[in-house]
Each structure stands twice: as structure tokens, then as C-alpha cells.
A = this chain, B = another copy of it.
Amino acid sequence: MADQVALLRDAANRMRVSAIEMTSASKSGHPTSGSSSAEVLATLFFDEMHYEVANPRNPSADRFVLSKGHACPILYAAWEEAGLLTHDDVLSLRKVDSDIEGHPTPRLSFIDVATGSLGQGLSCAAGMAYVGKYVDKSAFRVYCLIGDGESAEGSIWEAAAFSSYYKLDNLVAIVDVNRLGQSQATQLGHDVEAYARRFAAFGFHSIVVDGHSVEALLNAYKEARNTKNQPTAIIAKTFKGKDISGVENQDDWHGKPVPVEKADEIRAVLKSTKRHNWQIKAPPNDAPDTKLSFGNIHLSSPPSYKLGEKIATRAAYGTALVKLGDSSKRIMGFDGDVKNSTFSEKLLKKYPDQFVECFIAEQNLVGVAIGAGTRDRVVPFC
């Protein structure tokens, strides 16, 4: 364990250095938002999560959603550390012909949903967790890193309410409480207990940790695994620009590269500048390899309307949805408490396992459907 802790600290710092280098090379990007979450990502990627480096879309692999998408340099650095990306790859950050963009996109094999517009990631993660638990019935877990500023977005709380209502104990939200937003301190600053109270009130098991402590993070993930029937929120107290001298915990460093020399002090504490040969835990391979496309999904019988007949669009929608449901177990309807208006309740009545009530929270509804639709698990309708 002691060795592993030291190795993970080294990984976090190598990732910090790489993020500084790539944002210096691009003369733009968010090294400070990444530096606050370096230990979170290092512990997740090199101790906690089960996945295949060579095949990030393995259907049984754990999912990671970077809801604070602007912090993606540290995510690219994690995949560099894992061995999927080269240092040259990540140094192409924000170049016009590079997929290593300023915000993550699913063009990259290790990204399921595009993030960057804040507040959307937890809904997508909840959709993935719902599918894992109720559709795939797989052991894969879903980790979502949220910014503290971003937690002011109501969609986060819509997703939180949804996640506890459906007892998504395979979902872990991690809040990177680095205190500083883009233009000033956040509403709650470093009041991590306030975040914990909010998530607890929304039905989560809340754990407050020092987000730069590898030991604390590993223990928190373990506690989350042992938590049943409710999702977990790990409230990680961190510092923006952590370990970047003259930058850490200072205003006015959001979204700005820092001089590359500032990486020297971090480099100096590394035991090894060379990436470690990590033994990543293999996924359980218990999720079906569902290759769904619209090609093999069809109406069980053709529309039977007569020419000129007037049918409300919503009535035709409900009827068609059931016919699609006849042809595939993976057709799924998502509703915002209007199923008796939209006639999607027809699907609920015939195939209750293929229907998700999302209540009056439309942003979350769309996010959940997007998350559910990744990796060919479900074909969402909403």
C-alpha cells in the first residue's frame, strides 16, 4: 500500500507536469483546474477503475465522465500515463487538426460524452449507471468528476435526485472543491461540509476528503463500493493550481497556461519522470456486447393509418414506440411526468423495464438519455 501510494503521488505529479507542458505548448487551456484534480484522476485510473487501456470502450469497463470538461489536459495526461496516448499526442492539445481538443469529445476512444458546457456530466453518468444496474446488470461502476463552481448548476441537483431515487449505488460523484471559479470564489468557497449536506439531503452517501491525499481518496472509493442502495458523493477539498508555485489558490489563473518553468518544482519531487508500468484491473466482462443500430430495429408492424386520417403526433409516437419495443429489448423511453400526454405510457404498460420516469427535470432527462445511449447499450427515446 505504501509503495502504491508513493507511485500514485508520482503519477499525479507527472500528470500535472504534462498538463502544464501541453497548455504551455498550446498557449491556452486549463492547467490549474487540472492540477486540483490530479490525485483524484491518478487514484481513479491507476488503482480504482477496471478498464482496458487498449479498448477503452469495453462494454464492461468502468466509466469516467469529466463533467468539468475544461480540465481535460489532466485527463489526457492520465491516458498518457496509462499508455494510450504519447507525449507528442497530448502536446497537440488545441491544434486545429488534433482530436486532443480544449474540451473532451467522443471522437476520442476514451470519451463517452462531450463535456464542457458545465452541469451536464452527472446526468450522463447517471444514465450510464442506470443502464449498468438495470439493463446490462453489469458490475461496472461510473465515476463523475464535477467542479465546485459547476455544482451551482441546477442540472447537477436534478441528476442527484434521479440517482438516489433509482438507488444508483454504482455511481460515484466526486466534487473537486478547489474554491475558485472563473472570475471569483464560488458561493460556498471551501465549505466542504455544506456540499456534503446538500448531497446527503439529495440522498447520497457523502464523504468529505482531502482531495490531494491519495490515501483518503482510496479509502473513499472503498467506502463507496461498500455503500448499497444509494450513490456516493466524495467531496474533495483541493487547491486550484495545486503545487504550481505562485499560482496555487490564487485568483485570476482560470483558463490560463502557466510558464512551463513552473513545472520544474513539481518535477523535482518526482521519484521517476518515466511513466510507471501500471497493472490496470481488468473489467469483469459481464455486460453483453450489444451492437445496436437503427438498422436492426424496426416497427413490429407497419403503420396502419389511412390516408387523410388525422392522428395526434403524440398518439402516433406512443404507438410507434411500443412497436419498436416489440423488436428490441434495448429500446427505452424516458419521460418527464408527461407520459399520459405523450402516450409513452403505452411503452411503460407493455414493457415496464424499458421505461424510465425522470420526473419534472427535463435537462436531466436528456442527459440521462444521452448517457444511456453511449456504447450501444440502449436506444433512447424522449
Whether A118 pairs with B360 at a CB distance below 8 angstroms is yes
Taking CB as reference atom, which chain B residue is nearest A159? B154
A158 partner residues in chain B, CB cutoff 8 A = 152-154
Whether A153 pairs with B361 at a CB distance below 8 angstroms is yes
Whether B153 pairs with A340 at a CB distance below 8 angstroms is no
Choose from B152, B187, B345, B359 the contact partner of A186 (Cβ within 8 Å): B359
Whether B182 pairs with A149 at a CB distance below 8 angstroms is no
Number of this chain's copies in the assembly equals 2
Complex interface residues of chain A between 325 and 352 (CB less than 8 A to chain B): 335, 337-341, 345
A200 partner residues in chain B, CB cutoff 8 A = 197, 201
Closest-CB distance, A305 to chain B (whole angstroms): 25
Known: A154-B155, A158-B154, A165-B187. A360 touches B202 (CB 8 A): no
- Flag whether A364 is at the interface (Cβ < 8 A): yes
Whether B154 pairs with A363 at a CB distance below 8 angstroms is yes
Choose from B154, B183, B339, B359 the contact partner of A157 (Cβ within 8 Å): B154
Known: A157-B157, A158-B152. A182 touches B338 (CB 8 A): yes
Complex interface residues of chain A between 122 and 162 (CB less than 8 A to chain B): 149-150, 152-158, 161
The size bracket of the interface on A is: 35 or more
Closest-CB distance, A251 to chain B (whole angstroms): 10
A161 partner residues in chain B, CB cutoff 8 A = 152, 187
Whether A182 pairs with B341 at a CB distance below 8 angstroms is yes
> In the assembly, what is the distance between CA of A154 and CA of B365, in Å?
12
Complex interface residues of chain A between 182 and 238 (CB less than 8 A to chain B): 182-184, 186-187, 194, 197-198, 200-202
Whether A154 pairs with B152 at a CB distance below 8 angstroms is no
Closest-CB distance, A321 to chain B (whole angstroms): 15
- Flag whether A47 is at the interface (Cβ < 8 A): no
Closest-CB distance, A67 to chain B (whole angstroms): 12
Whether B201 pairs with A364 at a CB distance below 8 angstroms is no
Closest-CB distance, A360 to chain B (whole angstroms): 5
Whether A154 pairs with B359 at a CB distance below 8 angstroms is no
Closest-CB distance, A295 to chain B (whole angstroms): 33
- Flag whether A119 is at the interface (Cβ < 8 A): yes
> In the assembly, what is the distance between CA of A149 and CA of B360, in Å?
6
Q: Mark A173-184, 1 if CB is under 8 A from B, else 0.
A: 000000001111
Whether A149 pairs with B186 at a CB distance below 8 angstroms is no
Known: A183-B339, A337-B184, A345-B183. A153 touches B360 (CB 8 A): yes
Mark A residues whose CB is within 8 Å of B.
Answer: 118-119, 149-150, 152-158, 161, 165, 181-184, 186-187, 194, 197-198, 200-202, 252, 335, 337-341, 345, 357, 359-361, 363-364
**Further pairs besides A183-B337, A184-B337: 9, Cβ < 8 Å:** A119-B360, A154-B154, A161-B187, A181-B360, A182-B341, A183-B335, A183-B341, A186-B359, A200-B201
Sample 5 A-B pairs with CB under 8 A, ordered by A number: A119-B360, A149-B359, A182-B338, A182-B340, A197-B201
